[in-house]
């Protein structure tokens, strides 16, 4: 009797375990048409909308791209990846990332981010973002190969209805910053697979930094990505060649969606905060041909009406650097400007009076056709400054007024009623 009761109790417990297991699983179909089970207990909350729908991640960097690649980078750099190497790799001694953390980056193609995430979401919503059972892969490549990878991946930019398919290969990234200059044409080599071509040269992409350090074309980087890229999907011919050339390159057993959930729950504690992911974090800069117009813009400096040459470039007002120096000379925000032609360096010294030069504050003929992005280096008080939007028009440097205000300590406001830029010194 006791034996029978004990057996019944064990069967009941097993039945409850099976019932709980079944009730926590949700049947779904992945992008390949295969049935898959999703864990209904997985839940997270996004305080902002993470953009993946409507080809957002094909057009440029998105906050969802930042989150997704952050998850991959965290998985590799933290060492969590170590337990997911295949048995054959482990036997061969390949059971961890073979470079230091400063040389690990993550790349993810925008075509594999297909839906938004917002509010409370679960496994079903993440499946909509990535409907394929991709696994985490590591490819070792040189800096030069990494740059060529980004060049080929960006060949469809700038995004348009005609280039949407090619833009599927555009890379969201973590652990690095890069720029694509779409004013330069992609140098098509041989066709790789329609609609992608190999890069005959690398001229549109520049890499600003890797994990806060200088980019090195000769260094070896571990690139964390998907098995699809590892195998040469889309424009990833460099991935495929680099993986074949380095035996430490490997596809792990870790499913990418599972890794994203690990990151959400373990690193972010289930909450994607607005402060962290409310907007794209500035890892990818896409330069396009600017729209430049000479414009009539009223201007006051410390309450007095002033005249200066103003250009509207892509919707923002740009002023000549020397004009602003002349207007603010003698105020609490005065600064001097010196240009060293030999080193192509503009040096600004705050607090120093500026002597007005011939041509300052003159409004001449329209120079908009001559606009190019400024190649001059800028130093303020001896420190190199980056990130200021600047254009050169007919050999004069024009800077976004608000950028100058932030950098040099004067305030800029706009009076919509009178169409006036209001500049106030310290």
Cα–Cα dist 211/175, whole Å: 5
Can you give the pLDDT at residue 7? 52
Backbone angle region of 381, left / alpha / beta, with phi > 0 → left and psi within -120 to 50 → alpha: left
Can you give the pLDDT at residue 279? 95
Spans of the chain, pLDDT less than 50:
2, 5, 12, 16-23
Can you give the pLDDT at residue 387? 76
Can you give the pLDDT at residue 6? 52
Cβ atoms of 84 and 252 within 8 Å: the answer is yes
Can you give the pLDDT at residue 375? 77
Give residue-wise pLDDT tens across range 296-344: 889 999 999 999 999 999 999 999 999 999 999 999 999 999 998 888 8
Which 8-state DSSP code applies to residue 176? Answer: E
Cα angle 15, 17, 22 (rounded to 5 degrees) comes to: 95
Give residue-wise pLDDT tens across range 79-100: 999 999 999 999 888 999 999 9
Can you give the pLDDT at residue 343? 87
In this structure, the number of other CB atoms found within 10 A of the CB of residue 199 comes to 26
Residue with the two structure tokens 């993550």: 106
How buried is residue 319: exposed, middle or buried, by Cβ count under 10 Å (0-12/13-18/19+)? Answer: buried
Can you give the pLDDT at residue 26? 80
Can you give the pLDDT at residue 297? 86
pTM of the model: 0.76
Cβ atoms of 337 and 322 within 8 Å: the answer is yes
Can you give the pLDDT at residue 33? 78
Give residue-wise pLDDT tens across range 311-322: 999 999 999 999
DSSP state letters, 25-70: EEEEE-TTS-EEEEETT-EEEEEEEEP-STTHHHHS--HHHHHHHH
Can you give the pLDDT at residue 34? 79
């Amino acid at each position: 009797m006791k034996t029978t009761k004990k057996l019944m109790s064990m069967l009941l417990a097993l039945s409850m375990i099976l019932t709980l297991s079944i009730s926590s699983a949700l049947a779904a179909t992945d992008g390949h048409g295969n049935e898959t089970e999703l864990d209904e207990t997985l839940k997270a909350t996004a305080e902002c909308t993470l953009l993946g729908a409507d080809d957002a991640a094909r057009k440029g960097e998105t906050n969802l791209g930042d989150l997704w690649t952050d998850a991959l980078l965290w998985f590799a750099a933290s060492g969590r990846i170590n337990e997911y190497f295949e048995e054959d790799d482990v036997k061969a001694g390949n059971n961890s990332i073979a470079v230091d953390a400063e040389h690990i980056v993550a790349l993810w193609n925008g075509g594999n981010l297909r839906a938004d995430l917002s509010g409370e979401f679960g496994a079903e919503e993440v499946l909509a973002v990535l409907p394929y059972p991709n696994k985490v892969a590591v490819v070792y490549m040189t800096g030069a190969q990494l740059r060529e990878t980004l060049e080929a991946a960006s060949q469809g930019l700038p995004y348009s209805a005609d280039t949407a398919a090619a833009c599927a290969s555009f890379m969201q990234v973590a652990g690095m910053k890069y720029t694509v200059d779409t004013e330069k044409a992609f140098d098509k080599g041989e066709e790789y697979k329609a609609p992608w071509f190999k890069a005959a040269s690398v001229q549109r992409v520049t890499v600003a930094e890797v994990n806060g350090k200088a980019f090195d074309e000769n260094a070896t980087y571990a690139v964390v990505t998907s098995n699809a890229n590892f195998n040469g999907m889309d424009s990833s011919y460099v991935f495929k060649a680099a993986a074949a050339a380095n035996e430490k390159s490997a596809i792990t057993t870790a499913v990418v969606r599972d890794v994203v959930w690990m990151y959400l729950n373990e690193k972010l504690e289930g909450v994607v905060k607005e402060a962290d992911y409310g907007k794209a974090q500035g890892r990818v800069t896409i330069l396009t041909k600017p729209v430049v117009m000479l414009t009539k813009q009223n201007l006051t400096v410390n309450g007095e009406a002033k005249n200066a040459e103003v250009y509207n470039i892509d919707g923002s007002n740009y002023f000549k650097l020397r004009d602003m120096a002349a207007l603010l000379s003698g105020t609490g925000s005065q600064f001097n400007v010196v240009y060293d032609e030999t080193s192509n360096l503009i040096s600004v010294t705050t607090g120093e009076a500026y002597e007005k030069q011939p041509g300052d504050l003159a409004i001449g003929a329209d120079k908009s056709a001559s606009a190019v992005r400024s190649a001059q280096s800028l130093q303020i008080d001896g420190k190199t400054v980056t990130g200021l939007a600047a254009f050169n028009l007919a050999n004069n440097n024009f800077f976004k007024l608000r950028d100058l205000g932030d950098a040099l300590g004067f305030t800029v406001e706009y009076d919509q009623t009178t169409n006036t830029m209001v500049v106030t010194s310290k």
